[in-house]
Amino acid sequence: MQRQSRLKRELQLLSTEPPSGISCWQVDDKIDELRAQVVGGSDSPYEGGVFSLEIVVPERYPFEPPRVQFLTPIYHPNIDTAGRICLDILKPPPKGAWRPALNLSSVLTSIQLLMNEPNPEDPLMADIAREYKYHRAAYTANARSWTEKHAKPRDTAADGPTQKRRSADPPESAKKPKPGPHNR
């Protein structure tokens, strides 16, 4: 019961006062299955991209971290082709830095920060980490290309009116910006 009330509070806060460039919502009214979208940061190769994530909240949350993975392909040294993320707060101690004081908002903000500032010293994709460290221009070009191909919104007018919303897309109510300090 404590888990459910905490998750409701966290989701309410994420809907009324979301961090800049982040949205999160429930899938089919299931409190432990969530989707999120993170907008790529300005001055990064992910700028203008909208990246969808899947979040599964474990039964022991907040004593265990949520399981988060990218649904949108991304070219990044800390995110593999299956969408798994190498980030210390997504791992429980002693190897990880997850603490029950952290929440979904801090997890999503940390992922957004990792997108903008990769950690090539702890990669999931060694070849991309090497490219990031030693051939930054090639890394940036590849990351921008992947962002254009996989994360940029498509021109729906060209696709016609029959295009359906994918399960990773937010419901219409989540797409509308809410008034608040981040949207002024």
Task: Tell me which residues are annotated as active site.
Answer: 86
Helix boundaries (H) for the chain:
2-16, 104-116, 126-134, 136-146, 156-159, 172-175
> How far apart are the C-alpha atoms of 144 and 124, rounded to whole Å?
19
Q: What letter does residue 163 receive in the DSSP assignment? A: P
Q: What letter does residue 154 receive in the DSSP assignment? A: P
> How far apart are the C-alpha atoms of 62 and 70, rounded to whole Å?
21
Name the burial class of residue 124, with classes exposed (0-12), middle (13-18) and buried (19+) by CB atoms within 10 angstroms of its CB: middle
CA-nearest of 109, 138, 133 to 122 is 133
Q: What letter does residue 90 receive in the DSSP assignment? A: G
Token pair 């593999």 is found at 80
